[in-house]
Structure 1
Amino acid sequence: MGIVARIDGLLSDGGAPGLHGLVVLRGGRVVLERYGAGEDFRLNQSLGHVVFDAGTPHDVRSVTKSVVALLYGIALAEGAVPEPGEKLLAQFPEYPDLVADPARAGITVEHVLTMTLGLEWDETAPYTSTENSEIAMEAAPDRHRYVLERPVVAEPGRQWVYCGGAAALLGRLIAKGTGRPLAEYAGERLFGPAGISAFEWMTGADGVEMAAAGLRLTPRDLAALGALVLDGGRGIVPGEWIAEMTRPRVRIGDDTDYGYQWYVGGGPRRWIAAHGNGGQRIYVAPERELVVAVTAGEYNAEQRSTAAVLRAVTEDVTTG
């Protein structure tokens, strides 16, 4: 049984009730595209019941982090942002007290890219509460200082801790280095060249784009970004950066590593993925020339629909 039959069977049996959108590419060709309906949000603001189609934007939540990593590679090739090995606090001279703190001196940009900063951070509380570090960061007068002044709890590079603050710092480095707002730079250097003509990037109270979870894109847009990763950047993102970004750097699960803001799985069937709360996914399987883009509405809950869809799509490599 091929992908199309398996997915249609899954949907007709009610096996993915939270699915909002699905696009599957194989060998650069669309082999499947399906849309559903359900409640969507703009972050924590309900948009009510939405009937989705190919042109409907969707919150992609933390997939935004992986997009920021693509932008960092573009900016790095332009000489606008520091190399991964450079010291982090040296990039923030506006915080002289933190720059002078010897306990933070060893933190590098690479530790930001891999979420191994060694700073206190906790996103286990709901994303509606300031008990969650990302929400507290957005409520702070200065989100970047909030991240950088967190207590030091481990040696940098030793422990992976999921951290939206890391993406916020990367966004700041890109905006400062390029001299342009993140959305403007993304539109010209990434989205436009990738064929993404419309997008929304939500901002915080300070008017700055939320680099951790602010993007709204369509499943087709997510698939285009996945295809870009699969194809080595397509001259939009340097191929060398794609290789570095998707190289396993820190083990975070039995079969999962983290690269530069992207998840990587090993074994006989290597995969690369971007994840977002609610079941948002970009899934890339290079050896199978497969790209899967999923949007879903299982926010702050177990993402069963996305898991079921990915199992059905990746069961084998047939396309019928």
Structure 2
Amino acid sequence: MPGTPQTAPEDRGDDMGQDDRTDPATAAFLTHRNLLFTVAYEMLGSAADAEDVLQETWLRWAGVDLDEVRDQRAYLVQIATRQALGRLRTLGRRKESYVGPWLPEPLLTAPDVAEDVELAESVSMAMLLVLETLAPIERAVFVLREVFDLAYDELAEAVDKSPAAVRQIAHRARVHVAARRPRGVVSPAATRDALQAFQRAVETGDLQRLLDILAPDVVLLTDGGGVVQAALAPIMGAGRVAEVLARIADLATLRPAQVNGHPALIVQLNGEVDTVVAVRVADGLITGLYAVRNPEKLSRMERETTVSR
């Protein structure tokens, strides 16, 4: 129908949703769709906004003369990056008026994401929060260079800067992230062990058990977005965090899940997803808790989201 906007094709998971009738533009988009989503999500921390970036990318890609495109992957990443940068600036203004702590939108991910250690770290709650401290252009350059290994000339085209400027931005972003990222690599098994001990302590309401698994300087961040009840400031210290968590023992059901490539817990009330709790672990103790309660950020917790590099 003339004038009707085209909708971005979905990756249905069945051979990338392609068949013999798929046109070249659609086939290329579907081939790189998961990569484009991951790029946008790591830049924005929002799956809903990443999907919007995919739609905008598709609308521009559908009008491109493929005979003029040397590297389809790089070209698609360039389009998606520019769309995400524009949206990132809008999100920054939106976050300024956000009620309480802002946390990334959690993603239910397949277990095999954890096998790619670099990808799992890059989409973790802890890393996404570190990326929030970067300027938009620094975030784009860091994600594309450090996570997706784009060459500097490709990066320069994607962010509309000279290769020399991009190198300086990349160096500055690396230093910034290195100073703030969690120290050391924690295995999925160690995180699972800590999470299981944490789950048992919460389910029994055992305050001492909670204190035993929480680091003395643990920090709990709760994101309710002003929609549901949540602490409006970080809760710090094992004693205060344990007291808050011990109150939910009789109210909720906890189940383990893979969230953003790492073991996490889904809290259910009356059979509905109420909260997603991701953790940061060091030396066998939980040092950070990220509790997402904002219902607008929990809509994707019923199905797995595919992320890839």
- TM-score w.r.t. the length of structure 2 is 0.25
Higher relative contact order (CA 8 A, sep 6+): 1
Larger helix share, 1 or 2: 2
The structure having more radius of gyration, on CA atoms, is 2
